[in-house]
């Protein structure tokens, strides 16, 4: 069983500043850039402090360029932080890159770690040698993954001939063969169809539940997060703006629901007490209401009394629209990081 | 870290190269063509000029043929993998594994080399249909093999250094082309370095490229006598050590400034 008392990942005031040569503009700009020594500092990650317990499955969310990948790269040991401290499974990653490599598995949705010219199976065998996985363990894991991910049909196909969905399944198995304590998943479902997405999500949920693997999931597909994570960490411009339950952020931002009514014939500016008309399109009207103030059943009865209603639906707020609002307006609820 | 992983890297590289069968056949074919062209060229040149001391025509043709066979192995740019993996950003995933990445590249290069080394046998057989190749006494052959091994090391590190430039510029093709042309001419692969006159001759012998082709070849054809072997081995070893250390230093600097593209 994973030890829940000791954090498996711990960062304190983690900071990464990239220094680039400042480019002068204008016709001779390129020439001046060649000789100038003016630098520009870009803060990619600013004082990130977070702690993960073993066995957690956390969504690490933020807009493009927010600092997600930079954080992950520091956790994997390939980037050295500018300041601050971090520890992954008791190891400082950048000081002991290779030891850290044993503890982690990585899946990038946009690039593969499989060997392009070789059959999938041979990539796996290579990984067995790289991680010195005991033969029994390797055979058992491979068998499990082939079953769960249904890889039997293409195990002997060269990776370059695989479809994206097949390749991703292969990449997942590749990342998990050596029983890593922690896996970093960077957009693992990008570009996949709904069926493949669901298969991957089930696999992630499975390894987290059955093997106790700690998972950090970076994604733009918030359906992944909704389906898998209890906790999310929101990062924007290098700073953590929210760290806590998915449910809490949903209840704070999800107070408003939408009642969609379809009338028998077009109604001009329909009215309901306790709800605000959001839009009318032909015979369909949308009302926004605060679920702490108004009760949907009463609203529906009210609508039925006033108009001839043919169809009713209530729309739940999706995490996606909530996060979109937070990106635009900033987070101001409970648990907001003080800036 | 089990050494098994590196053996496996080499085996996979071997298997990978072997999948491109067409390329393998083309390689042997073009080599045979070049043997024929060089034979005609040197025969014509020797007919028009005074024979250089110590290198009669049959030695010269032996020299040229052995040089071509060596090139089968030495022209394998085993570390082009660095360039590719830096450009595609996949070097990041390599670095996340519990392996020494430079040794990984070396093993991969070795695997490719071994496949190409196997081609020497059929190439030699075809070449023998066209030219006569002198066979020196066994101890000379052994000295040649040893010098060849040292030269292989020097060549590996020169390639490693050039491909490592990708860490800074991401694109190294133009530079590689220049160095390759330079080294083709200055390493003694095409023209024996004794044919360079005076100061220029002394200069090209002092360059590291001479350690790759010239030294083993001149041992093979007997221009470098047995008494001189240790001196030449020592020079090769010095180049090997310098380039090895330089590579180590470059690698340390490179891993410190890794920029993963699009990451």
Residue B263 within a domain: no
Q: Is the pLDDT of residue A21 over 80?
A: no
Classified by CATH at the fold level, domain A255-316 comes out as: Alpha-Beta Plaits (3.30.70)
Which residue is associated with the tokens 């363990």?
A137
Let me know if residue B124 belongs to a domain: yes
Question: How many independent structural domains does chain B possess?
Answer: 1
Q: In this predicted model, what pLDDT tens digit does every residue of A122-172 receive, in sequence order?
A: 999 999 999 999 999 999 999 999 999 999 999 999 999 999 999 999 999
Contact (CB<8Å) A126/B8: yes
Kindly state whether residue B195 falls inside one of the protein's structural domains.
yes
Note the pLDDT of residue B170.
65
Cβ–Cβ under 8 Å, residues A334 and A315:
no
Q: List, as ranges, residues 36-65 from B with C-beta within 8 Å of A.
A: none
| A61: three-class secondary structure by DSSP | strand
pLDDT band at residue A337 under the 50/70/90 scheme: very low
CB B226 within 8 A of CB B138: no
How deeply is A235 buried, as exposed, middle or buried, from its count of CB atoms within 10 A (0-12, 13-18, 19+)? Answer: buried
Is B62 inside a domain boundary?
A: yes
User: Which residue on chain A is closest to B4 by alpha carbon?
Assistant: A129
Tell which B residues from 242 to 261 touch A, by Cβ distance under 8 Å: 256, 258, 260
pLDDT of residue A56: 94
What distance in Å separates the CA atoms of residue B196 and residue B191, rounded to the nearest whole number? Answer: 9
Q: Does B3 touch chain A (CB under 8 A)?
A: no
Look up the domain containing B222 and give its range.
Answer: 4-256
- Name every chain B residue with its beta carbon within 8 A of the beta carbon of A98: 1, 98-100
Q: How many Cβ pairs within 8 Å bridge chains A and B?
A: 69
CA dist A230 and A274 (Å) reads: 32
Distance CA B62, CA B65 (A): 5
In a domain, B172, yes or no: yes
Q: Which residue among A111, A126, A129 sits closest to B88, beta carbon to beta carbon?
A: A111
Of A40, A94, A44, A103, the closest CA to residue A69 belongs to: A44
Distance from the A17 Cα atom to the nearest Cα atom in chain B, whole angstroms: 13
Rounded Cα distance between B235 and B212, Å, is: 11
pLDDT at residue A222, as a whole number: 85
Domain membership of residue B261 (yes or no) is no
Q: Are A113 and A171 in contact (CB under 8 A)?
A: yes
A55-77+91-250 architecture in CATH? 3-Layer(aba) Sandwich (3.40)
Q: Looking at the DSSP assignment, which residues form a beta bridge with residue A217?
A: A59, A185
Tokens encoding B185: 């001419």
Residue among B162, B153, B152 at smallest CA distance from B242: B153
Residue B262 lies in a domain: no
The whole-number pLDDT of residue B68 equals 92
Asked if residue B51 is part of any domain, the answer here is yes
B232's torsion region: left (phi>0), alpha (psi -120 to 50) or beta? alpha
How high is the ipTM of this complex? 0.72
What is the pLDDT of chain A when averaged over all its residues? 86
**Residues of chain B contacting residue A118, judged by C-beta atoms under 8 Å apart:** 12, 15-16
- Residues of chain B positioned with their CB less than 8 A from the CB of A115: 12, 16
The residues spanned by each domain of chain A are 55-77+91-250, 255-316
Phi first, then psi, for residue B245 (nearest 5°) are -65, -40
């Amino acid at each position: 069983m994973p030890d829940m008392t000791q954090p498996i990942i711990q960062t304190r005031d983690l900071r990464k500043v990239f220094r680039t040569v400042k480019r002068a503009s204008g016709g001779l700009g390129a020439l001046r850039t060649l000789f100038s020594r003016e630098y520009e500092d870009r803060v990619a990650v600013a004082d990130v402090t977070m702690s993960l317990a073993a066995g957690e499955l956390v969504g690490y969310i933020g807009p493009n360029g927010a600092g997600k990948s930079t954080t992950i790269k520091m956790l994997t040991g390939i980037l050295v932080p500018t300041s601050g401290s971090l520890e992954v499974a008791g190891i400082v990653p950048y000081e002991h890159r290779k030891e850290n490599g044993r503890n982690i598995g990585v899946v990038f949705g946009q690039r593969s770690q499989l060997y392009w010219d070789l059959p999938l199976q041979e990539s796996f065998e290579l990984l067995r040698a790289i991680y010195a996985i005991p033969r029994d363990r390797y055979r058992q894991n491979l068998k499990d993954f082939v079953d769960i991910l249904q890889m039997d049909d293409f195990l002997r196909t060269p990776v370059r001939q695989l479809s994206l969905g097949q390749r991703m399944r292969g990449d997942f198995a590749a990342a998990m063969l050596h029983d890593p304590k922690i896996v970093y998943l960077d957009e693992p479902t990008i570009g996949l169809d709904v069926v493949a997405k669901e298969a991957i999500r089930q696999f992630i949920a499975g390894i987290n539940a059955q093997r106790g693997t700690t998972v950090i999931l970076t994604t733009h597909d918030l359906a992944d997060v909704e389906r898998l994570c209890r906790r999310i960490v929101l990062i924007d411009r290098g700073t953590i703006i929210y760290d806590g339950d998915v449910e809490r952020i949903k209840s704070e931002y999800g107070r408003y629901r939408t009642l969609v009514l379809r009338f028998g014939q077009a109604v001009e500016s329909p009215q309901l007490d306790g709800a605000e008309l959001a839009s009318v399109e032909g015979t369909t009207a949308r009302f926004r209401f605060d679920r702490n103030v108004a009760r949907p059943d009463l609203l529906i009865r009210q609508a039925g009394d006033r108009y001839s209603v043919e169809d009713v639906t209530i729309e739940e707020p999706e995490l996606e629209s909530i996060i979109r609002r937070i990106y635009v307006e900033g987070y101001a609820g409970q648990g907001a990081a003080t800036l | 870290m089990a050494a098994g992983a590196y053996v496996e890297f080499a085996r996979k590289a071997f298997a990978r190269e072997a999948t491109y069968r067409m390329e393998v056949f083309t390689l042997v074919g073009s080599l045979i063509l070049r043997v024929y062209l060089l034979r005609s060229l040197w025969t014509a040149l020797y007919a028009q000029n005074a024979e250089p001391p110590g290198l009669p025509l049959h030695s010269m043709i032996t020299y040229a043929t052995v040089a071509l066979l060596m090139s089968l192995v030495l022209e394998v740019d085993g570390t082009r993998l660095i360039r590719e993996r830096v450009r595609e950003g996949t070097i990041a995933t390599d670095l996340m594994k519990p392996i020494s990445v430079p040794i990984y590249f070396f093993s991969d290069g070795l695997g490719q080399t071994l496949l190409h080394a196997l081609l020497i046998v059929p190439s030699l057989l075809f070449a023998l249909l066209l030219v006569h190749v002198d066979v020196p006494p066994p101890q000379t052959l052994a000295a040649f093999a040893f010098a060849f091994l040292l030269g292989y090391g020097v060549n590996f590190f020169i390639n490693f250094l050039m491909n490592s430039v990708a860490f800074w510029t991401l694109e190294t093709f133009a530079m590689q082309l220049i160095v390759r042309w330079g080294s083709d001419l200055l390493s003694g692969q095409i023209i024996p370095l004794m044919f360079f006159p005076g100061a220029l001759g002394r200069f090209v012998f002092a360059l590291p490229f001479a350690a790759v082709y010239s030294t083993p070849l001149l041992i093979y054809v007997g221009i470098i006598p047995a008494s001189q072997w240790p001196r030449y081995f020592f020079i090769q070893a010095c180049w090997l050590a310098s380039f090895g250390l330089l590579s180590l230093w470059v690698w340390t600097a490179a891993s410190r400034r890794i920029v993963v593209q699009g990451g």
